[in-house]
């Protein structure tokens, strides 16, 4: 089931109050999406498929056109998530790291097409621009009668965000346009990418930001964790215990898939010769993708389990009835 914005808000609250986090994968190909849904189904867990601008304009979806990218992602997820096989998997479609002058246009399109939840990349924005853009999205949703479930971020790569910014950024959007915010993504000592020193990762900061954001909103607000690729299982568990409700996963996921692809071609170089009897079976996309899937799906399942996501889909579905 592909979740509506209203159902998605309920899912984020369920995660925040039940103390688990939903894995959010930047799945950048149709095969990667299928693998994420297989892993979620096998864990009986909800899953978020999220797309940054590079995925929307990427060759497998928008091929240069971000709006076409949204339409194709949603078509893919609608079709898969309503199939018999994945009907019981709560699937969220989330816009992640949208930036640049087209940001509001892209996110308005996503709202109109009923993307489950929305966020943007504020790294090049001033605090005021961040607030104004979030308010603009809320105004468009209100004018057009669209449901809106928002994640707001601040300085996710810049060390630990001061608590005061929860008040001045998150609190200001909540004060002006109450009820739309569902997740808060402050910096908590992580960094996007691989090979970073994450020694400054701070579950205490997660706890303090979660408590203040929830107090300002008057409802449970979970923390969205960016730059999780380098964290250990113990660090992830501590983050979830402190109030992380959504964990973004991109760099490590790409590394696992690209290493599996490299291994497939290394191992099958001979079979890819034009006179080899297995040439066709090896050269087909299916050969490569099945081989990647066998390595990738267990890793996604392990990540879901380390976030305490196992079994949460059944529990969440009961809350929707």
Contacts of 280 (CB under 8 A, 6+ apart): none
Closer to Zn ion at the Cβ: 7 or 248?
248
Which CA distances in Å does 49 have to 18, 234, 235, 237?
A: 21, 24, 23, 21
Site mask for Zn ion (CB under 5 A), range 177-216, x = bound: ----------------------------------------
Question: Helices 285-306 & 251-267, crossing angle to 10 degrees?
Answer: 140
**DSSP symbol at 57:** T
CB of 192 to Zn ion, least distance (A): 6
Tokens of 202: 């701070």
Closer to Zn ion at the Cβ: 10 or 98?
98
CB of 155 to Zn ion, least distance (A): 12
The DSSP H or E segment spanning 283 is helix 279-283
CB of 228 to Zn ion, least distance (A): 9
Closer to Zn ion at the Cβ: 210 or 226?
226
Within residues 241-280, the interface with Zn ion by CB under 5 A covers 248
CB of 86 to Zn ion, least distance (A): 25
Return the residue nearest Zn ion (CB atom): 226
Q: How far apart are CA 183 and CA 186, in angstroms?
A: 10
Q: Cα-flanking dihedrals φ and ψ of residue 142, to 5°?
A: -65, -45
As to burial, measured by CB atoms within 10 angstroms (0-12 exposed, 13-18 middle, 19+ buried), residue 127 is: middle
Site mask for Zn ion (CB under 5 A), range 226-245, x = bound: x-------------------
Contacts of 67 (CB under 8 A, 6+ apart): 105, 106, 109
CB of 293 to Zn ion, least distance (A): 25
Site mask for Zn ion (CB under 5 A), range 123-152, x = bound: ------------------------------
CB of 124 to Zn ion, least distance (A): 14
Report how many residues bind Zn ion under the rule CB under 5 A: 2
Closer to Zn ion at the Cβ: 44 or 153?
153
As to burial, measured by CB atoms within 10 angstroms (0-12 exposed, 13-18 middle, 19+ buried), residue 150 is: buried
Closer to Zn ion at the Cβ: 71 or 157?
157
CB of 78 to Zn ion, least distance (A): 25
Within residues 53-92, the interface with Zn ion by CB under 5 A covers none
Q: What share of the chain is helix, strand, coil (3-state, %, to 5)?
A: 50, 10, 35
| Interface with Zn ion (CB under 5 A) | 226, 248
């Amino acid at each position: 089931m592909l979740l509506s914005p209203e159902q998605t808000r309920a899912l984020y609250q369920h995660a925040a109050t039940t103390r688990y986090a939903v894995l959010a994968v930047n799945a950048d190909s149709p095969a990667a999406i299928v693998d994420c849904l297989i892993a979620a189904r096998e864990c009986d867990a909800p899953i978020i498929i999220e797309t940054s601008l590079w995925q929307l304009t990427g060759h497998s979806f928008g091929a240069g056109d971000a709006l076409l990218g949204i339409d194709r992602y949603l078509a893919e997820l609608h079709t898969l998530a309503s199939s018999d096989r994945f009907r019981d998997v709560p699937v969220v479609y989330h816009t992640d790291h949208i930036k640049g002058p087209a940001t509001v246009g892209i996110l308005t399109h996503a709202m109109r097409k009923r993307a489950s939840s929305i966020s943007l990349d504020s790294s090049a924005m001033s605090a005021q621009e961040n607030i104004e853009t979030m308010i603009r999205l809320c105004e468009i949703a209100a004018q057009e009668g669209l449901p809106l479930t928002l994640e707001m971020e601040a300085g996710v790569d810049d060390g630990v965000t001061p608590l005061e910014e929860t008040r001045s950024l998150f609190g200001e959007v909540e004060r002006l346009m109450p009820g739309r915010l569902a997740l808060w993504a402050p910096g908590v000592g992580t960094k996007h990418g691989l090979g970073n020193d994450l020694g400054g990762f701070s579950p205490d900061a997660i706890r303090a930001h979660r408590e203040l954001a929830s107090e300002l909103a008057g409802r449970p607000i979970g923390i969205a964790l960016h730059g999780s690729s380098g964290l250990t299982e113990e660090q992830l568990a501590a983050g979830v215990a402190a109030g992380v409700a959504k964990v973004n996963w991109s760099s490590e996921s790409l590394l696992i898939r690209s290493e599996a692809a490299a291994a497939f071609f290394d191992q099958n170089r001979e079979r890819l010769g034009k006179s080899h009897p297995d040439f066709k079976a090896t050269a087909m996309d299916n050969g490569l993708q099945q081989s990647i899937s066998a390595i990738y799906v267990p890793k996604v399942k392990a990540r879901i389990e380390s976030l305490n996501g196992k079994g949460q889909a059944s529990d969440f579905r009961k809350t929707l009835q």
